[in-house]
């Protein structure tokens, strides 16, 4: 791995912004064919560093060498000329034209579309990308669009590919596919810089990792050797508090009772729910494990009331709610954190104050047909403070927040409603390691104060940490609950049965995945 000259070498890169040092004397190296992770929490300086490498931002100090030659002040155009390409988190494709036309737009010189189409097909085949050059981008899924972006970079024959949080928008299956592509690319000698805060992914994919915290390098490790805990400690800087799970007494009668719930699948990727029976008592946290797409979203919307099924038995504190719309259920004490934050859990173009009213209306943020702005602002500010949401304040638009911060806000909002029943899907998805453990503690505390909590999550570690009982939802069917103490990765993995519980990069064997 230690070649004579490394592909990319950074020495003492420093970037200061008023009041903050974004990058403080960062030194790292990447060899040809190496997949190198830049690991760190939000705000650790990852993105700034990548922009410096790509040339979108100039460093105040330090040196960048690419293939041994120092890069002075350079522009992104210059970078691309050298073979440095970057795939952003948000895509920049024209939806109304075809894949080939999109790619043609960033090619130099005159191009024959049919010839380009052939090149696209060849390159796609070589790396196992599923890209049809004639398809209109509008018809592509998010994962397919990302493949187009990557392919666009690949056509430039890059020597260094930078990916900024590429999996934040992908479904688990698509993540596996992405990793295969990246491995094939590395095998061909392309270096990859992989920015992430997801420990599992980094451990599954990367050969080496540089951990950043507050703009400084806190570790250079081989992620395959380090444990998740060790990596997390490097990222957060202190030993992480384990969630405290005080003993609890659960209510005799369940708060949520679901009997023989069946539901038709939503859309192409949905799964039919059959015969779900589930109880959640006050004082306990019940988890639902399993890979998304096995009925998770169907279950969540049936419980929240976004889909109505008057035929199934759903009871909240003994009252039938199966026929009630979401607002009526909310008024009875149900709170819900959906998987999608922007556009569902929050209105993107509305301020945090306005987004407080979205569900806070059940707690007096709307009264006598009027919106109570002062109360909503106070509520929003309190939530921002209590859950350390990084934002300019209650007036900031929801879409100005990072995914993790918005998740904290939505979770905080729902928790602040003091619900009788909290349903949370992927509660810590995209949230920093440190903040995630704080949020988990809050969820447990809520249950210990007498509420019923149902967590739907793909992350087994999370469920094992905070749940009193865990079901597995697979193929639209719910397994029997395994109590805390008896629940292990292996057992849950077995329950998942034939359905593969993919953890990123874990290959085909679920038991392998369960082992780490």
Partner 1 sequence: MQLRIEPRVTTSIVIQGLAPIIAVTMTLVLGGILFAAMGYPPLETLWAFFIEPISTIYGASELLVKAVPLVIIATGLAIGFRANIWNIGAEGQLTIGAIAATGIGLYFPDQQAVYLLALMFLAGCLGGLFWAGIAAYLRARFHTSEILVTLMLTYIAALILSWLVRGPWRDPAGFNFPQTALLPPAGLIDPIDFAYRVTGSVYFAIFALIAMWFFVARSFQGYKLAVGGAAPRAARYAGFSEKSAIWIGLLTGGAAAGIAGFFEVAGPLGQLSPIISPGYGFAAIIVAFIGRLHPVGILLGGLFLALIYLGGESVQLGYGIPAPITRVFQGLLLFFLLASEFAVSHRIVRVKEAH
Site for partner 1, rule CB under 8 A: 51, 56, 75-77, 80, 86, 88, 92, 94, 105-106, 304-306, 325-330, 336, 338, 340, 343-350, 354, 357-359, 361, 366, 369-371, 400
**Cβ closest to partner 1, residue 92 vs residue 511:** 92
Give the phi and the psi of residue 488 in degrees, each rounded to 5. Answer: -135, 165
Q: Which is nearer to partner 1, 243 or 407 (CB)?
A: 407
Six-digit token pair at 415?
């928790």
Residue 326: its H or E element: helix 326-331
- Output 233 or 346, the one with its CB closest to partner 1: 346
Segment (H or E) for 238: none
In this structure, what token pair is assigned to residue 137? 């981008």
* Minimum separation from the CB atom of position 275 to partner 1 (A): 26
What angle is formed at CA 481 by the lines to CA 480 and CA 486, rounded to 5 degrees?
125
Nearest residue to 117 (alpha-carbon basis) of 106, 103, 105: 103
Nearer to partner 1, 7 or 330 (CB): 330
472-474-480-486 Cα dihedral, nearest 10 degrees = -40
How many other CB atoms sit within 10 Å of the CB of residue 498? 7
- φ, ψ for residue 462, nearest 5 deg: -65, -45
The three-class DSSP label of residue 277 is strand
Tokens encoding 236: 């957060």
- Name the minimum Å distance from CB 395 to partner 1: 12
Q: Which CB, 104 or 232, lies closer to partner 1?
A: 104
Phi first, then psi, for residue 7 (nearest 5°) are -65, -45
Q: Which residue is associated with the tokens 């990859």? A: 192
Least distance between partner 1 and beta carbon 18 (Å) = 17
Q: Smallest gap, in angstroms, from Cβ of residue 76 to partner 1?
A: 5
Least CB distance from residue 253 to partner 1, whole Å? 25
412 close to 383: Cβ distance less than 8 angstroms:
yes
Residue with Cβ nearer partner 1 (118 or 327) = 327
Phi, psi of 164 (to 5 degrees): -100, 110
Q: Closest CB to partner 1 among 253 and 264?
A: 264
Q: Are 387 and 408 in contact (CB under 8 A)?
A: yes
Nearest distance from C-beta of residue 105 to partner 1, angstroms: 5
Nearest distance in Å: CB 338, partner 1: 6
Which CB sits closer to partner 1, 31 or 355? 355
Distance of closest approach, residue 417 Cβ to partner 1, in angstroms: 12
| Cα 313 from Cα 305, distance rounded (Å) | 13
Which secondary structure element, helix H or strand E, spans residue 465, and what is its range? helix 460-466
Min dist CB 396 to partner 1, Å, is 11
Q: Which residues contact 403 (CB under 8 A, 6 or more apart)?
A: 168, 341, 342, 429, 430
- Closer Cβ to partner 1, 336 or 429, answer by number: 336
The CB-of-361 to partner 1 minimum distance in angstroms stands at 7
- Cβ(307)–Cβ(300) below 8 Å: no
Q: CB-wise, 229 or 328, nearer to partner 1?
A: 328
């Amino acid at each position: 791995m230690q070649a004579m000259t490394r592909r990319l070498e950074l020495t003492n890169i420093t970037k200061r912004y008023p009041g903050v040092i974004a990058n403080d004397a960062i030194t790292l190296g990447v060899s040809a064919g190496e997949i190198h992770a830049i690991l760190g929490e939000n705000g650790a300086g990852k993105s700034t560093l990548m922009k410096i490498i790509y040339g979108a931002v100039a460093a105040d100090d330090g040196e960048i060498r690419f293939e041994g030659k120092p890069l002075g002040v350079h522009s992104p155009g210059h970078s691309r000329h050298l073979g440095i390409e970057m795939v952003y988190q948000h895509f920049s494709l024209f939806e109304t034209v075809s894949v080939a036309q999109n790619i043609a737009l960033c090619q130099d010189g005159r191009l024959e579309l049919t010839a380009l189409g052939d090149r696209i097909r060849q390159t796609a085949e070589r790396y196992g990308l599923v890209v049809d050059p004639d398809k209109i981008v509008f018809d592509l899924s998010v994962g397919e669009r990302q493949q187009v972006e990557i392919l666009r970079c690949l056509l430039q024959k890059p020597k260094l590919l930078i990916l900024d949080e590429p999996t934040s928008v992908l479904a688990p299956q698509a993540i596996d596919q992405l990793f295969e592509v990246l491995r094939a690319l590395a095998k061909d000698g392309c270096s990859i810089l992989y920015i992430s805060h997801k420990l599992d992914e980094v451990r599954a994919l990367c050969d080496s990792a540089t951990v950043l915290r507050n703009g400084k390098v806190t570790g250079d490790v081989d992620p395959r050797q380090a444990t998740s805990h060790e990596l997390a400690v490097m990222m957060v800087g202190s030993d992480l508090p384990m969630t405290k799970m005080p003993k609890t007494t659960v209510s005799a009668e369940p708060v949520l009772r679901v009997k023989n719930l069946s539901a038709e699948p939503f859309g192409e990727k949905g799964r039919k729910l059959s015969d779900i029976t589930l109880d959640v008592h006050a004082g306990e946290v019940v988890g639902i494990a399993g890979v998304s797409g096995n009925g998770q979203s169907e279950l969540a919307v049936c419980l929240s009331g976004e889909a109505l099924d008057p035929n199934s038995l759903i009871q909240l504190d003994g009252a039938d709610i199966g026929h009630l719309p979401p607002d009526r259920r909310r008024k009875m004490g149900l709170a819900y954190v959906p998987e999608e934050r922007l556009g569902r859990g929050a209105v993107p173009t509305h301020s945090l104050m306005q987004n407080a009213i979205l569900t806070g209306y059940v707690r007096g943020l709307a009264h006598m047909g009027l919106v109570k702005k002062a109360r909503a602002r106070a509520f929003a500010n309190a939530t921002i403070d209590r859950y350390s949401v990084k934002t300019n304040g209650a007036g900031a638009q929801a879409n100005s927040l990072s995914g993790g911060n918005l998740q904290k806000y939505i979770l905080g909002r729902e928790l602040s409603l003091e619900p009788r029943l909290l349903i949370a899907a992927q509660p810590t998805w995209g949230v920093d390691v440190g903040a995630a453990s704080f949020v988990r503690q809050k969820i447990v505390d809520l249950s210990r104060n007498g509420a019923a909590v149902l967590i739907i999550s793909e992350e087994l570690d999370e469920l094992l940490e905070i749940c009193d009982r865990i079901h597995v939802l697979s193929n639209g069917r719910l397994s029997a609950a395994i109590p805390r103490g008896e629940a292990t990765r292996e057992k849950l993995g077995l329950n998942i049965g034939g359905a593969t519980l993919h953890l990123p990069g874990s290959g085909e064997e679920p038991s392998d995945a369960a082992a780490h």
